[in-house]
């Protein structure tokens, strides 16, 4: 007779809650940091023609050399650095963790941070340590340096800008962390397109720095492409864990085509950055709303009754992210992605009406 599931499946997997993606059908979708704009018709037609020529019966190029050289051109990757591609950057986080998961090895990050850091530590049997940010969401450098000394983390993940808070940590503090770390530090620049700064040029200064980017927040979330940039000695080892055909042929071809039109993506991100300013100002003008500074394509805010506001917005078909309860520093916090001007107006009007109703 076979054993019951809980005698076979690892206990820490039995304890996990499934990653919850709420249904968004027919809603104003401002919960997942997607670019709200589609590509222009002419480019979509070009992609359709290109797709018709692809040999779907063949495996993709495992090295994706053509795609990597397009990315090199588009992202100012320093000479001498290698690129590893992932099925989204989530997969890259997992590859890094798998490679470093010696018994007892620690994966460290700040809190609150991207939820996948902790989840993937669990998947890979790493020990997770999260160091709380300060109340204004800046990095607590003293606490980080003490924790690095104590736990000797194999890897530290730092999102720059951070999700879900949206701010950029002090670059010199991150450099100190990299210099003090006994293992590798991954700077996750998922929101790079919306921030005017990067650690890319610092790769040459720090032998233990790896830099991660994704095309998801830039407008290609559906294609699933992330990349890790770093020294060949690191990436040669990590490549051994990458499944050979993790980046499909459609993704390789379509991303190359879109990168030939990077002006379009830039126009879209510029529009999002301009709307971010408009939206922040409108939110700041509302009584009872605290707005936190952002360098990403979303805004973190604090209201009086976050759960109620979230549910009432949902009833009005507006989906944002409720962060209340996810971390003590995020009490009554909501996260809203910057959408199109029209979507943002719908959100702002609904929020204003609700806040007026709730305070009277
Ligand atoms: C969204 C996000 C990612 C994951 O993006 P992929 O779609 O898997 O490429 C990684 N890091 C942070 C901080 C994110 O917010």
How confident is the model at residue 271, as a pLDDT?
98
Q: Is the minimum distance from the CB of 90 to ligand 1 under 6 angstroms? A: yes
- How far is Cα 7 from Cα 5, in angstroms, rounded to an integer? 5
Closest of 352, 335, 360 to residue 285, by C-alpha: 352
How confident is the model at residue 41, as a pLDDT?
97
Give the ligand 1 atom nearest the CA of 221.
7
- How far is Cα 336 from Cα 75, in angstroms, rounded to an integer? 27
- Could you list the beta-strand ranges (E) of 14-111: 28-29, 82-86, 106-111
CB 334 within 8 A of CB 313: no
Q: Is the minimum distance from the CB of 216 to ligand 1 under 6 angstroms? A: yes
Determine the number of helices (DSSP H) and then strands (DSSP E) in the chain.
13, 13
How confident is the model at residue 17, as a pLDDT?
87
Q: Is the minimum distance from the CB of 226 to ligand 1 under 6 angstroms? A: yes
Closest residue (by CA) to atom 12 of ligand 1?
Answer: 190
What's the 316 CA to ligand 1 centre distance in angstroms?
28
Give the ligand 1 atom nearest the CA of 113.
13
Give the ligand 1 atom nearest the CA of 91.
8
- How far is Cα 87 from Cα 94, in angstroms, rounded to an integer? 11
> Which residues in the chain land under pLDDT 70?
none
How confident is the model at residue 151, as a pLDDT?
98
How confident is the model at residue 1, as a pLDDT?
74
How confident is the model at residue 356, as a pLDDT?
86
- How far is Cα 67 from Cα 52, in angstroms, rounded to an integer? 19
Neighbours of 146 (CB within 10 A): 12
How confident is the model at residue 68, as a pLDDT?
98
Closest residue (by CA) to atom 15 of ligand 1?
Answer: 163
What's the 214 CA to ligand 1 centre distance in angstroms?
7
How confident is the model at residue 359, as a pLDDT?
78
What's the 144 CA to ligand 1 centre distance in angstroms?
23
């Amino acid at each position: 007779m076979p054993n019951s599931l809980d005698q076979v499946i690892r206990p820490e997997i039995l304890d996990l809650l499934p990653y919850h993606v709420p249904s968004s059908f027919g809603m104003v979708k401002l919960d997942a940091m997607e670019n709200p704009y589609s590509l222009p018709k002419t480019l979509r037609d070009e992609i359709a023609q290109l797709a018709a020529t692809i040999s779907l019966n063949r495996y993709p190029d495992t090295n994706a050399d053509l795609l990597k050289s397009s990315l090199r051109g588009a992202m100012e990757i320093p000479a001498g650095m290698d690129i590893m591609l992932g099925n989204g950057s989530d997969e890259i986080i997992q590859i890094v963790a798998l490679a470093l998961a010696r018994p007892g090895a620690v994966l460290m990050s700040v809190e609150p941070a991207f939820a996948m850091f902790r989840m993937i530590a669990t998947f890979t049997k790493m020990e997770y340590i999260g160091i709380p940010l300060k109340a204004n969401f800046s990095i607590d450098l003293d606490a980080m340096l003490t924790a690095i000394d104590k736990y000797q983390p194999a890897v530290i993940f730092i999102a720059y800008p951070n999700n879900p808070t949206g701010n950029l940590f002090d670059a010199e503090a991150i450099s100190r962390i990299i210099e003090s770390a006994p293992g590798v530090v991954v700077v996750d620049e998922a929101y790079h397109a919306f921030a005017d700064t990067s650690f890319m040029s610092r790769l040459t200064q720090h032998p233990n720095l790896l830099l991660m980017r994704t095309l998801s927040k830039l407008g290609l979330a559906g294609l699933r492409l992330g990349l890790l940039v770093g020294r060949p000695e690191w990436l040669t080892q990590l490549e051994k864990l990458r499944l050979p055909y993790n980046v499909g042929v459609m993704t390789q071809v379509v991303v190359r085509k879109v990168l030939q039109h990077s002006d379009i993506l830039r126009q879209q991100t510029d529009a999002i950055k301009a709307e971010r300013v408009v939206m922040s100002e409108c939110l700041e003008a509302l009584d009872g709303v605290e707005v936190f500074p952002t360098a990403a394509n979303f805004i973190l805010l604090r209201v009086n009754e976050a759960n109620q506001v979230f549910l009432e917005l949902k009833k009005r078909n507006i989906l944002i992210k409720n962060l209340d309860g996810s971390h003590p520093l995020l009490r009554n916090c909501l996260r809203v992605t910057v959408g199109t001007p029209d979507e943002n107006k719908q959100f702002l009007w609904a929020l204003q009406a609700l806040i007026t109703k709730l305070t009277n």
